[in-house]
Structure 1
C-alpha cells in the first residue's frame, strides 16, 4: 500500500519545496494523467493534494487498467472527489470528458515487462499516438511527455554528464534497446504532432529517483539497499559496485514535472534527475551510514581490470537555466525520508 501523502516525509518535503512552483495556472483546470498509478503518479497526486489544501482548485482524471487495484493500494486518493479514474488501456481508452492539461507517463518499467519487448514498444508507440489523439479531441493545449534517459543508450566513457544535445543514442538493432528506441520514436511523434495541431508538448527525459512508493524489493538498487537496512540485513550489492548513478527525490521530481508541463517549450527535451554522481558501492555505504551504521556492506563481485565504468548521469543545466529547477533534496536526506515513509516507527 502506498504511504498516506499527508505523512511528514511526503507532505513535509513538498511543503518545503512548493514555492518553487507557480501553481496559479492549475487553478480551475483538469489534468488527465496516464501512468498515474505508479511512483510518478503517487508524487504528482501528492503535490496536487497539497496544492488543493492551499486553495488551488485542480482536478485529476487518472487512466487505470484496474481502478479497483489502484483503490486498494492508494485508498486516500481513490476517496478524493477531485480524483476520478478512467478505466482503459493506454492504447485504446475512450473518454469524452474535456481536459485542460495532460501528462503522458504510461510506461511499465517493471523488469518482467521488459522480457516482452514487442509489448513494451506497443505500449510506448501506440499508447503515445492514441493518447495524443485523445488530447486533441479533449481540447488539451499542453501535454507533458515523460520520456527516459534510456534514449541516449550507453553513456560514452568520456562524457561525465549527458546533455540533451548529446548525439549518442541506443543501438536500434540491439535486442535490449526496445525501450529506449521506442521512447526516442515517441518523442519524435510528440514533436511532429504538436507542430501539426498547435499543442505544446515539452519532453521530460527522466533518469533515477528515490522516495515513498519506490519498491524496496524490486530491481532498483537504492530501494533494495533501503529495504535491506529496514529489515536489519547486511546491505548487499549484486555486482562490483562501480557503476555511477544519481538520484532525485520524489518531491523534487513532482515539482520538476509540473513546472516542465506548465512552462516547458514545445519539442524541447529536459533532463530530469540529479547531476550528483555516486557509485553503487558509495550509495550502499551512504544508505548504511544513514540508516544502520552498525551493518556491513557486501559486494558480491570484484571489478574486472580495465573495465569500462557504467555511467548514467544527466546534465541538468537546461532545467536550471530555463526553468529555475535544481536538486533541492540531498541524497542523504532523500534516503532518510524514503525510509521514514516506509517504516515511520523505525526512522522518524
Structure 2
C-alpha cells in the first residue's frame, strides 16, 4: 500500500511548499500524465489532490497499464473524481480526450527492468514519440519530458556538480548505456517535435530522491538504509561507502516538476535534484542519527584510494535562477518524513 496522501509527511509538507507554485495556472485545465503510478506519479497526484482541495478546478488523465493495481495500492487517490484513467502501454495507448498540459514521466526504474535493455529503450524512445504525438493531437500547448541525470554518463571525479551544459555523456557503445542514451535521444526528439509542432517542451533531468512511496527494500540506498534502521537490522552498505550522492524530497520534486512544466523554456534542460552531496557511508550514519537508532553499519567493501570517486550530484543553479526552485526540505527532515510514512505515524 502507498501511504495515504493526507498523511502529514505528504500533504503537510506539500502544503508548506505550495507558495512556491502558481497553482492557479491549472484552474480549469486538464493534465495528461504518464508514469502516474510510480514514485513520481504518487507525489504528483498527491500535489494535484491538494490543489483541488484548495479550490483549483483541474482534471488529470493518467496512463497506466493496470489502473486496478494502483487502486488497490492507493485507494484514496484512485477514487478521486478529478482523476480518470487511460489504460494502455506508453508505446501505443489510445486516447482522444483533449488536454492542456502533458507530463511524460513514464520510465521503469526497477532494477529487474534494466536487465532488459531493448525493452527499456523501446519504452523510452517509442513511448516518448507516441506520447508527444498524443500531446499534439489532444491540443496541448506545453509538455514536460522527464529525463534523467543518466544522460551525462559518469561524472568526472574532479567535477563537484554536473551542470546542464556539461560536455560529457554516456558511452554510446557501452552495454550499460541503454537507459541514459535512450533518454538523451528522447530529449532531442522532444526538441525537434516541439519546434515542428509549436509545443513548448522543457526537459527535467532527474537525479536521486527520497520520500513516501520509495521502496525500502529495493535498489535505492537511502530507502534500504531507512528500512534497515526502522527494522532494527544492521545497515548494509553494498560497496566501500565512498560514492557521493544527493537527495531531494518527494514534495520538493512534485513542485519542481510542475514549475518546470509551467515555466521551463522549450528545448531547455533543467537538473532536478539536490546539490548537497553526501557519501553513502555518511548517509548511513545520517539515517541512523536522524531516526535516533543505534544500528550497526556494515560495509561490504574496502575503499580503493587510487580509484576515482564516483559522483552523481547535479548543479541546480539554472533551476534556482530561472524557475525560482530550491532544496526546501533538509535531508534530515526528509529522512524522518519518509520514515514516518513507513511507520504509519507522523514525526
Q: TM-score, normalised by structure 2?
A: 0.99
| TM-aligned CA deviation for residue 232 of structure 1 | 1.0
Match in the other structure for 1:211 = 211
| Alignment map for 1:267-278 (pairs within 5 Å) | 267-278=267-278
What SS does the aligned partner of 1:195 have?
helix
Question: 1:187 is matched with which residue?
Answer: 187
Larger CA deviation: 302-311 vs 270-279 = 302-311
Partner of 1:148: 148
CA shift, 1:292, in A, is 3.6
1:293 aligned onto 2:259: no
* Partner residue in 2 for 1:199: 199
Give 1:50 shift.
0.6
1:93 aligns with 2:90: no
SS in 2 for 1:146: strand
Superposition RMSD on alpha carbons, in Å? Answer: 0.8
Count, aligned residues: 347
Distance in 2 between residues matched to 1:99 and 1:305, nearest whole Å: 54
Paired position in structure 2 for 1:10:
10
SS at structure 2 position matched to 1:124: helix
* Residue 305 (structure 1) shift: 2.6
Q: What secondary structure, in the 3-state scheme, does the structure 2 residue paired with 1:96 have?
A: coil
Contact 1:242 1:309 in 2 (8 A): yes
The answer to whether the 8 Å contact 2:86/2:95 transfers is yes
1:278-314: CA deviations, max 9, x gaps?
0000000000001143222111211123111100000
| CA distance, structure 1, for counterparts of residue 73 and residue 216 of structure 2 | 15
Residue in structure 2 matched with residue 305 of structure 1 by the alignment: 305
1:174 counterpart residue number? 174
CA contact 1:233–1:295 (8 Å) conserved in 2: yes
* SS of residue matched to 2:86: strand
Q: Normalising by structure 1, what TM-score?
A: 0.99
Q: Give the Cα separation in 1 of the matches to 2:179 and 2:100.
A: 29
Residues 99-138 of structure 1 aligned to structure 2 (within 5 Å): 99-138=99-138
Residue 251 of structure 1 deviates from its aligned partner by: 0.3
Q: CA deviation at 1:178?
A: 0.1
Does structure 2 retain, via aligned residues, the 8 Å contact 1:62–1:85?
yes
Q: Distance in 2 between matches of 1:299 and 1:289?
A: 17
Aligned residue for 2:226, secondary structure, equals helix
* 1:157, distance to aligned residue in structure 2 (A): 1.2
Unaligned stretches of 5+ in structure 2? Answer: none
Task: Give, in angstroms, the shift of residue 38 of structure 1.
Answer: 0.3
SS in 2 for 1:147: strand
Q: Which 4+ residue blocks in structure 1 deviate beyond 6 angstroms?
A: none
Which ranges of structure 1 fall in alignment gaps of 5 or more residues? none
Asked if structure 1 preserves the Cα contact closer than 8 Å seen for 2:229 and 2:293, the reply is: no
